[in-house]
């Protein structure tokens, strides 16, 4: 019996051991199967991507932006290398090393570096995350010597924009900035990534599609420590197209120097073609402040400046054209037969209209005045009388023929069209009809009438061109990186005013005598040996009753704008220009001498004392 019991116990123990062993085996296999299932199905893609990234890495190669040159091929905007520090979050194994070393080199706090690395950790693990750009050569050298073997750390070289002439043409060339989320959403035609620099204003913005180029890719092989050991595939980036402008940087810089410490604008055109020779808006700013990115302090300073240096006054500055507009009123009067060349009016220094007194700039009056004398000496009363006879609507029609009230069409976005008021506009805007007082003020370029400097230059170009209105243009040609001509501009005539040639000749003769006659208001633009046609203007910013005789007693922002328009069309090189000096005083006294300097420079004539 005892032997049976012992045999039973032995058999029972063996079975128990077998059961325990089996349970352990089953449990072990269950764990292994579970782990394999997790690795294959749940984390398979992660480890596959990680495994691949341990031997290859795809680096984006930013395309060099196309250059911008003047009409003589001088570089106005070009590319320079810019270094940045980035990480691959999925490869970074020593973040504490980065936090310990990089901040002292980059001049930031360890806390700031830690925050940036946390942001990187929350981004896609195998896409490069930029920590800091605009690194100096010294910073690059120190980072490479201290972090060169740190896995997941990359120092990139990307091109950035450099503007050799700094402030010159800042409003024409425009600025670059980091692409916004809204711009990323809208970018259907081009491929952009967060952090890319895109054109924000000027030519840089309006011709972004030509300048950008096409990105490339570099697929590199790396070892377990993240070090590059070879290149498996490479697609080179394609440089953007180069743009040649119609402007001459030497003339542009000279005009800008003439305008030192002034606010205003100068626009110079070739009247026969519409080619822009110079386009100046003052005050200006250094384009290199924006490249590769503008600091918060500089941005705040530019935006808070009361003279608004970021505004392109040449195409967006709105001014009453003042007496420069009188040639428009004169052409309307001649064309409608309201006056003839010999028609005269008496100027006693003022005119009473609807119980309102309108004064001439010459307080004692000009006496009996013909059209020629009225233009040469800029008699206001003559044009008050003519404006009353014409009415605002007929003046408005001829203003439109000269190009006022519509954008010129120059290749810069956000150009303002100005304003040419008529009966319909007045009724729509104020719910009242045009009155005689509106016709009077409009006749001398005041009242509701508003124009831009480029419109005023285009007006003079039309007179010089015997009534043909040409479209101003800035782009001469666009050439691809391989030398193919993608675009070449041709002169475009917007319309022919069909003015009577005899009437144009009358205007031209009077505009010549504005400069050459000793009683002409533009005498200070006289240049011996050069036939200059011109018209002065003084645009009021305060009402007549508030006007003070001595300009230095008037606050700056209430002083009149000085205006001057001119052309030379009897030489192989032709030019039409407008000069506006904000709150500068009289056009003949202030703006005319500036125009004289510009014309002497353009025609290489030594300046002589007057």
The C-alpha atoms of residue 604 and residue 209 are separated, in whole angstroms, by: 38
Q: Is the peptide bond before 292 cis (omega within 30 degrees of 0)?
A: yes
Residues labelled as active-site residues: 323
239-to-61, 158, 163, 207, 293 alpha-carbon distances in Å: 11, 13, 18, 14, 21
Closest listed residue to residue 138, CA positions, set 96, 104, 99:
104
CA 168 to chain centre: 12
Tokens at 593, concatenated: 């001498």
DSSP state for residue 587 in the 8-state scheme: I
Burial of 330 (0-12, 13-18, 19+ CB in 10 A): buried
Q: Are strands 468-470 and 493-496 parallel, antiparallel or unpaired?
A: antiparallel
DSSP state for residue 553 in the 8-state scheme: G
Residues 6+ apart with CB under 8 A from 489: 246, 473, 475, 476, 477
The C-alpha atoms of residue 193 and residue 213 are separated, in whole angstroms, by: 14
CA 501 to chain centre: 39
CA 579 to chain centre: 20
Closest listed residue to residue 273, CA positions, set 530, 70, 494:
494
Query: What are phi and psi for residue 19, nearest 5 degrees?
Result: -65, -45
Closest listed residue to residue 321, CA positions, set 402, 246, 247, 258:
402
CA 354 to chain centre: 46
Burial of 514 (0-12, 13-18, 19+ CB in 10 A): buried
Residues 6+ apart with CB under 8 A from 550: none
């Amino acid at each position: 019996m005892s032997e049976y019991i012992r045999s039973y116990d032995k058999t029972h123990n063996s079975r128990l051991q077998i059961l325990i062993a089996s349970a352990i085996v089953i449990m072990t296999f269950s764990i292994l199967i579970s782990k394999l299932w997790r690795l294959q199905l749940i984390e398979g893609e992660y480890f596959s991507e990680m495994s691949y990234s341990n031997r290859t890495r795809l680096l984006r190669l930013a395309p060099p932006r196309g250059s911008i040159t003047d009409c003589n091929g001088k570089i106005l905007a070009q590319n320079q290398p810019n270094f940045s520090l980035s990480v691959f979050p999925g490869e970074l194994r020593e973040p504490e090393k980065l936090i310990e070393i990089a901040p002292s080199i980059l001049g930031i706090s360890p806390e700031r570096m830690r925050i940036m690395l946390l942001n990187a950790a929350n981004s896609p693990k195998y896409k490069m995350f930029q920590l800091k750009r605009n690194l100096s050569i010294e910073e690059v050298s120190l980072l490479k010597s201290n972090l060169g073997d740190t896995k997941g750390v990359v120092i990139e070289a990307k091109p950035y924009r450099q503007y050799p002439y700094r402030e010159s043409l800042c409003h024409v060339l425009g600025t670059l900035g980091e692409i916004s989320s809204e711009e990323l959403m809208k970018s259907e035609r081009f491929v952009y990534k967060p952090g890319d620099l895109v054109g924000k204003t000027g030519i840089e913005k309006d011709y972004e599609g030509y300048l950008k180029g096409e990105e490339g890719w570099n697929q590199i092989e790396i070892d377990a420590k993240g070090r590059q050991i070879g290149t498996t595939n490479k697609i080179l980036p394609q440089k953007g197209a180069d743009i040649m402008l119609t402007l001459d940087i030497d003339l542009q810089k000279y005009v800008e120097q003439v305008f030192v410490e002034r606010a205003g604008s100068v626009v110079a055109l070739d009247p026969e073609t519409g080619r822009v020779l110079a386009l100046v808006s003052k005050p200006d700013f250094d384009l290199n402040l924006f490249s590769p990115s503008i600091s918060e302090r500089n941005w705040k300073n530019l935006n808070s400046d009361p003279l608004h240096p970021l505004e392109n006054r040449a195409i967006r500055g709105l001014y009453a054209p003042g007496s420069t507009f009188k040639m428009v009123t004169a052409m309307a009067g001649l064309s409608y037969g309201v006056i003839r060349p010999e028609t005269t009016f008496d100027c006693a220094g003022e005119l009473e209209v609807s119980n309102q007194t309108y004064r001439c700039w010459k307080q004692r009056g000009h006496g009996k005045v013909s059209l020629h004398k009225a233009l040469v000496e800029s008699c206001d009363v003559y044009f008050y009388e003519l404006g009353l006879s014409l009415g605002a609507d007929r003046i408005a029609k001829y203003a439109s023929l000269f190009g006022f009230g519509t954008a010129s069409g120059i290749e810069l976005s956000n150009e303002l069209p100005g304003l040419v008021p008529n009966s319909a506009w007045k009724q729509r805007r104020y719910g009242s009809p045009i009155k005689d007082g509106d016709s009077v003020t409009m006749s001398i370029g005041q009242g509701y009438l508003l124009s831009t400097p480029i419109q005023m230059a285009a007006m003079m170009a039309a007179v010089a061109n015997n009534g043909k209105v040409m479209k101003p243009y800035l782009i001469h040609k666009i050439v691809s990186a391989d030398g193919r001509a993608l675009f070449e501009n041709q002169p475009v005539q917007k319309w022919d005013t069909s003015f009577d040639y005899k009437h144009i000749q009358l205007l031209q003769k009077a505009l010549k005598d504005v400069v050459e006659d000793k009683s002409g208001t533009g005498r200070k633009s006289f240049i011996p040996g050069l036939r200059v046609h011109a018209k002065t203007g003084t645009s009021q910013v305060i009402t007549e009753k508030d006007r003070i005789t001595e300009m230095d007693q008037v606050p700056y922002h209430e002083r009149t704008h000085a205006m001057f328009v001119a052309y030379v069309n009897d030489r192989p090189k032709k030019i039409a220009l407008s000069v506006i000096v904000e709150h500068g005083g009289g056009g003949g006294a202030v703006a005319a001498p500036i125009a004289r300097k510009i014309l002497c420079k353009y025609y290489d004539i030594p300046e002589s004392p007057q």
